[in-house]
Structure 1
Amino acid sequence: MIAAASRRLVLFAGLMLFAGQGAWAFSAFTAEEIRVEGVQRLESGTVLTYLPLSVGDRVDQSRSAQAIRALYDTGLFEDVSLGRDGNTLVVNVRERPEIASFTIEGNKQIGGDELKESLRQQGMAEGELYKRALLDQLRLELQRQYYANGFYAVNVETEVTELDGNRVDIAINVEEGQVAKIADINIVGNEDFSDEELLDVISLESVKPFYAHPLTFWRSRANYSREKLLGDMETLNSFYQDQGYLRFNVTSIQVSLSPDKRDIFLTINVDEGDAYTISNIEFAGDLIVPESNLRALVSAREGQTFSRQLVTDTANRISSGLADFGYAFSEVDPLTRPDDEEKTVEVTFFVEPGKRAYVRRIQFSGNQKTNDETLRREMRQFEGATFARRAVERSRVRLARLQFIEQATVETEPVPGSEDLVDVDFSVSERPAGTLQFGVGFSDAQGFLINGSVSHSNFRGTGNRLRLQAETNSFARTLSGSWTDPYYTEDGISRTISAFYRDTEEIIRFGSGFDLNSIGAATTFGIPISEYSNFRIGFGVETNEISTRIDPITLGGQPTFLTSAELRQFIRQNGREFFTYELRTGWNRDTRNRSFFATRGANTSVNFDFKLPGSDVEYYNASFTHEQFFAVGTWSDWLSDKFVFETNLRVADTGVWGKGRDVPPYDNYFAGGARSVRGFQDGFLGPRDSFNNPFGGQFLTTMQNELVIPTFLESDNKSTRLSLFYDVGNVFSGADEFEYDDLRSSAGAAFYWFTPFFGLLRVSYAVYVDERPNDRVDRFQFSFGVGL
């Protein structure tokens, strides 16, 4: 075998010498036969298909070299040589081994399906041909990736085991070691900004003790990676550019490694340069709108310190403004001309609006269960009209706010062959619109409850909403149903028809000892008066019957009432049965980015409902509610857009305007609990009855304030929410009884989770409660299986 290998080596060396210097080991001849030697898995015919020589061809130096290159290029052979036996051309080959098995172990940080697929595409998989050079390259590449991620102690070993049948087993064993931690970051050359200021800008940081960051120790930023370092240098450059330092430069970076390869020392050398101010702002290019309009969009001003971010924002605002006028693909390039002697810079915004674009077609995808027309009626951008970016974005938001749409995205594509036509493509993902639910729940106001419901927010793909619900809890049983057509008319007027039956034993969970049977129905119309607001008007009828309770065991021949004195007095003055006609009116403005777990925008409602003349009791209900959401935190990339401040104000008043001496107690307001002032027992704020149970009042004012804070949960701010709260409010007998000093307040933490089986779970704990004598405190409160 050794002799044969030596012979092939000599032959191959001679062939290479022949190809380079014109000498040839044997004279040219005409091949009368071609014989293949050395094949194991392959057939001789397979080798001949790759050989650019045939019987009858003349074999000389050039054609021999060409034949050897052709066989090597197939990648099937480790060794190829040509020989001559008389007039027979002998092709000697050694096939590459086949990979019988390929394993990689120990790679926890770098691996997964993506690595396996990448290796398979490169030929490192079972059934592929083994190439030693490729294996060495793979080992070096793995090592490089580990180094880039801070694993300098990594050891990558490869083991190749030869098997029978020209096969091999390949095993890669990785010992990752520990990731290197940044022991120190030293910035040299900074004079105008301190080390602390610059270290706050970048994401990498040196190792700090646990007590220095107890809330985020589990996501330490002291782990080194080359990608993070390069990203931080870009961030540092942007920081200086935003402060006017146009000539800032990172001159060098030194990365030192401790002998045990666990600690890294970074030295960043910078040249700050000088701060530049804006000397002049000009516009150039095709100014299709008056320059005064463009200047109104400029954030930067002459004489102020130059900021790259302000200049970029201005360019984007101008481009967006042009897009609202139909110039969908406008480009605004901010050009700067520094004066290094005066330390000033001239800024010129070069405008290339392109051609005005018109929408050829609006298309929808992903709506498998929703009719095209149901989505199309939400559009504020129309086909054939001038393209308007703001109208397209508003259309996307309207789609995303539909109850049966989980997510909506939009892309604007130019029409091939046209310079002024675009297609607007909306892609939606639908959430289940129809639900059949049966479950249990609990709330502080209702206790344990059992409910069942049939609902569909997109009936037969039309967007119409159907809901039938039955619920029973510790003191009430309710049946209700409603049908809503959001586009009852082509102008977008909605209509809701609803009916209910309710049998209750208390006003709330802790009531005043009476029974109430209620039946009612209503028709309500919603009339849009602007893009964000609508007016509500409707008519309803309702009948209520109150029954008092008496203890069957009497004392001294006198009945013992289980019903409070306040309710008995109301019955004496107003009766037990009430039939009412109600006019329902209201106004609402909603600019929230989504209706569930919003992060910005506001929702304001003003409602005024009153019992019409001819009712057994004539009174009104007036309320004002305002929800506001502010994004308040962009402290780092991880926290960006996750700090949200929410305030929810509610003021409500009810009173008699005509027939009757008082408002029925079942229409009183109650406070305390998860929906008003947390930390107080549900309903126990405000007036009490003769049994010291909640009786409710006719004037309510509450405010809930929450600071939403990020968590480590992947669904953070989408289906879960953690917040710190401060609540204040109370209920009073009437508006004239309001006293600021009588308001109650509390503070604590709350957690919300939209569970897949039990609906919204609310949990809150009030650390601080401003309690007074006779107040009932309930610091820990939770509910699930009930609505928002």
Structure 2
Amino acid sequence: MALTARAHAFEPFKISEIRAEGLQRLEIGTVLTYLPISSGDTLNTATSQQAIRSLYGSGLFQDVQLERDGNALIVKLKERPAITKFKIEGNDKIGGDELKKSLKDLGLADGELFRRDLLDQVEQELRRQYYANGYYDVGIDSKVTEEPNNRVSINIKVTEGKVTKITDINIIGNHVFPTEELLKQFDLKSTNWMPFQKSDRYSKQSLSGDLEKLQSYYQDRGYLKFSVDSVQVALTPDKKSIYITINVTEGDVYKVKGTEYSGNTILNERFLKALTSTKAGDTFSRKEATDTSDRIEAALSDIGYAFAKVSPVPDVDEDKKEVTLKYVVDPGKRAYIRHITFTGNAGTNDETLRREMRQLEAAPYSKSAIERSRVRLSRLPFVESAEVNTNPVPGSDDLVDVDYKIKERAPGSVQFGVGYAGSSGFLITGQVTHTNFLGTGNRIDLSAQNNVYSHAISLSWTNPYFTEDGVAQTISMYYRKSDGVIRYSSGFNTNTLGASLTYGIPLSEYVALRAGLGFEDTAVDTFPNSSSDEILAYVINNGTQFFSYQLRTGISYDSRNRTFFATRGALHSLTADVALPGGDLEYYNIAYRAQQYVPLIWKFTAEINGTVGYVDGYGGKDTPPWENYFAGGPQTVRGYKDGYLGPRDHPTSYFNNPYGGRLRTTAQTNLIIPLPVPSDGKSTRLEAFWDIGNVFAKPSDFNVSELRQSAGVAFSWFTPFLGLLDLSYAVPLNPKPGDNQDRFQISFGTGF
């Protein structure tokens, strides 16, 4: 500030010219650009101060002096030195390309002008980051070397030292809960024998979070006046250990006297009480009070009050140690949706996405409808992910815009590949698929398959919105030639030609009805010397050519968050297919499937997948053998050979191969394990499982002791070229003589 004081000594005068002295790299024009005065202006105390501040503010100069020569203004300057070389070394734990970029943005890089204050800031920030990661013994030595022509080189040398570890965490003042129990709530831990432990690295932010958890632990158990009185963090002189001491006052347990609601509640009190989880006589819990507030806010947001705030205010009676919970409701103004927009949908028509909306424009804001719309978008086969943002309209307190950010996946593919499945051996497949034909959301499938035991070709077209109300229509045609009902046949072949027309009719947001008609023409070939007695008897009684009309019905409930690799929700499906009278076959097939996903702690998920199926003839006709159920393999009971559980050919048969049965019951219980490597959970999955099930010739043969069991591990992965790859290793738990075991099972290509 001495320079400014010097400027104060000027007598005001009119500037005739401006000269600059001390410039090395800069031109006089640059100086004049930053000067707020020019020739002809009067220089006085105010304008001189303004000139000095402006030149310093440019960041180009480290020294500025104003002098007078007659009526000429002399500006004496000392330019900031330029950085010829900037180097930071030794920072293995903190830094990398991100640090270099941030330093460059600050102005610490080759070619920039040197500022000592910036270098000091960098030293402080580096030290802060090392402290946050537990390196309290870090040394940071900055060296600035002057170079010719007003230049400098800067070298920052970091000596990281060893991580400072938490040796002990002690809590003083707790009498109700033992210290060991309280420390379980902490993320920070004292050093133990575990290798690669990181929880013993102290950081102020982590400790603050742990103290909040400690307070919540007490207040959720009635200790309303619990407090943390003081915290001492002691660093040993060698900076290798940290000791943390926490002093607390537990206080008394408070009971809930009652609940009251005030403000503009909007909702009637009976409904509010239904949303309230605490009642008179309960132990006070901050969590329950907060959860109740959240539920009331969510209920208000579903009827348009997007910005509702509900605050639980405890009214404390110290004498009785009771709390009256008063919920103060401020609903704000009712909000309406102005615009719903989509971004990222380059290949999808706006209408295709908009028809999935459960939140409509110009309608009251509904948080649940907006979220349900997002889930519906993410379930579309051509959408990889969907995110939603709600933004208040500027200048309005009752309008909201909703934007869905779509990330599309490739909707179409032309694929050719090879695969392997336990039930069909090696296979060759070709498929043309488009799940979003011309951006309409319509799906077209043309596929062909050829393997040792079967040949098939199929064509289908699905319009998910055949009507504006969401009725889906699927038209399909197919041809299949199979050498037996499983991989190793029972000595007969089938040739089937069929077509169907099926509709999916939504009954509610989660429930849909399936209804359709189809026909099949099936020819059966038998071989006297190798066909089983069962199939020969069926052909003798019923012939070898069969034409049937089929009624296809069913109902399903689906609340899964994804159609594949789901992590929550449920699927219940009941189907009933009937070969109608008038055809050569008369039978019915009833199947029920239940699938449930339950999130567990530590990102584990439980999946329960059970099926029951029953097929039988009616009108005095037998069940077609090719409609029988089979069990064993990846889809039913792993660890047993694909299709080899259940009834076999007649005991006198030479082959004694699986023949299937009319009743199948299976259950797969899977524990989905979070992978130790980064994964979005949408393309890979690791699980431990327990399977149980079997097939029975008829319902009266069902016997719990005949249900086969297995346990093991499985891994699934959507590969770029082979489609879905499934690997499993299972140990049969109760095999019986004659069972064909197959512990390691692999299938791929089936995702094509």
The two structures have a TM-score, normalised by structure 2, of: 0.94
Q: How does 1:331-370 map to 2 (within 5 A)?
A: 331-370=309-348
Partner deviation per Cα, 1:25-76 (whole Å, 9 max, x = no partner): x988776654432211011333344445655677677765654444333221
Of 293, 299, 305, the match for 1:327: 305
Shift in Å, 1:686: 0.5
1:451 is matched with 429
- The reply on whether 1:97 has 2:81 as its aligned counterpart is yes
Question: Could you tell me whether the CA contact under 8 Å between 1:77 and 1:94 is conserved in 2?
Answer: yes
Shift in Å, 1:591: 1.4
* Residues in 2 aligned to 1:62 and 1:378: alpha-carbon distance in whole angstroms: 66
Shift in Å, 1:113: 4.5
* Residues in 2 aligned to 1:51 and 1:537: alpha-carbon distance in whole angstroms: 83
Shift in Å, 1:309: 1.0
1:762 is matched with 726
2:418 is matched with 440
Deviates more, 1:228-237 or 1:79-88: 79-88
Partner deviation per Cα, 1:74-99 (whole Å, 9 max, x = no partner): 22122233456676654332211112
* Residues in 1 aligned to 2:472 and 2:15: alpha-carbon distance in whole angstroms: 91
Shift in Å, 1:450: 1.8
2:685 is matched with 721
2:551 is matched with 583
- The reply on whether 1:593 has 2:554 as its aligned counterpart is no
Of 513, 518, 524, the match for 1:546: 524
1:511 is matched with 489
Deviates more, 1:85-94 or 1:439-448: 85-94
- The reply on whether 1:705 has 2:665 as its aligned counterpart is no
- The reply on whether 1:735 has 2:719 as its aligned counterpart is no
Aligned in 2, Cα 1:140/1:733: closer, same or farther, shift over 3 Å? Answer: same
Aligned in 2, Cα 1:390/1:91: closer, same or farther, shift over 3 Å? Answer: closer
Question: Could you tell me whether the CA contact under 8 Å between 2:426 and 2:452 is conserved in 1?
Answer: yes
Q: How does 1:18-167 map to 2 (within 5 A)?
A: 18=6, 34-51=18-35, 67-83=51-67, 89-167=73-151
Aligned in 2, Cα 1:64/1:463: closer, same or farther, shift over 3 Å? Answer: closer
Question: Could you tell me whether the CA contact under 8 Å between 2:640 and 2:732 is conserved in 1?
Answer: no
Of 586, 610, 618, the match for 1:657: 618
Shift in Å, 1:165: 3.2
* Residues in 1 aligned to 2:350 and 2:42: alpha-carbon distance in whole angstroms: 72
Question: Could you tell me whether the CA contact under 8 Å between 1:710 and 1:716 is conserved in 2?
Answer: no
Give the gaps of 5 or more residues in structure 1.
1-11, 211-216, 551-560, 634-638
How many residue pairs match? The answer is 748
Aligned in 2, Cα 1:756/1:373: closer, same or farther, shift over 3 Å? Answer: same
Question: Could you tell me whether the CA contact under 8 Å between 2:4 and 2:52 is conserved in 1?
Answer: no
* Residues in 2 aligned to 1:221 and 1:549: alpha-carbon distance in whole angstroms: 71
Shift in Å, 1:397: 2.0
Deviates more, 1:487-496 or 1:305-314: 487-496
* Residues in 2 aligned to 1:360 and 1:402: alpha-carbon distance in whole angstroms: 25
1:679 is matched with 639
One-letter code of the match for 1:572?
Answer: I
- The reply on whether 1:428 has 2:406 as its aligned counterpart is yes
Aligned in 2, Cα 1:68/1:581: closer, same or farther, shift over 3 Å? Answer: closer
* Residues in 1 aligned to 2:12 and 2:403: alpha-carbon distance in whole angstroms: 68
Question: Could you tell me whether the CA contact under 8 Å between 1:245 and 1:272 is conserved in 2?
Answer: yes
* Residues in 1 aligned to 2:521 and 2:12: alpha-carbon distance in whole angstroms: 115
The two structures have a TM-score, normalised by structure 1, of: 0.89
Question: Could you tell me whether the CA contact under 8 Å between 2:689 and 2:713 is conserved in 1?
Answer: yes
SS of residue in 1 equivalent to 2:600: strand
2:383 is matched with 405
2:605 is matched with 644
Question: Could you tell me whether the CA contact under 8 Å between 1:744 and 1:770 is conserved in 2?
Answer: yes
Partner deviation per Cα, 1:728-749 (whole Å, 9 max, x = no partner): 1100111111111111111122
Partner deviation per Cα, 1:154-190 (whole Å, 9 max, x = no partner): 2222233433432233232323233222222212111
Shift in Å, 1:310: 0.7
Aligned in 2, Cα 1:385/1:138: closer, same or farther, shift over 3 Å? Answer: closer
* Residues in 2 aligned to 1:480 and 1:777: alpha-carbon distance in whole angstroms: 33
1:473 is matched with 451
Question: Could you tell me whether the CA contact under 8 Å between 2:312 and 2:326 is conserved in 1?
Answer: yes
* Residues in 1 aligned to 2:500 and 2:308: alpha-carbon distance in whole angstroms: 52
- The reply on whether 1:169 has 2:153 as its aligned counterpart is yes
Partner deviation per Cα, 1:582-603 (whole Å, 9 max, x = no partner): 1111111111122111222211
One-letter code of the match for 1:656?
Answer: G
One-letter code of the match for 1:729?
Answer: G
* Residues in 1 aligned to 2:116 and 2:127: alpha-carbon distance in whole angstroms: 17
Aligned in 2, Cα 1:52/1:741: closer, same or farther, shift over 3 Å? Answer: closer
2:169 is matched with 185
Aligned in 2, Cα 1:161/1:334: closer, same or farther, shift over 3 Å? Answer: same
Residue identity over aligned pairs, in percent, reads 53
Shift in Å, 1:473: 2.2
- The reply on whether 1:627 has 2:577 as its aligned counterpart is no
SS of residue in 2 equivalent to 1:458: strand
SS of residue in 2 equivalent to 1:457: strand
* Residues in 1 aligned to 2:388 and 2:80: alpha-carbon distance in whole angstroms: 52
* Residues in 1 aligned to 2:14 and 2:184: alpha-carbon distance in whole angstroms: 79
Partner deviation per Cα, 1:106-156 (whole Å, 9 max, x = no partner): 333332454334323322123221012321221122112211221112222
Question: Could you tell me whether the CA contact under 8 Å between 2:87 and 2:156 is conserved in 1?
Answer: yes
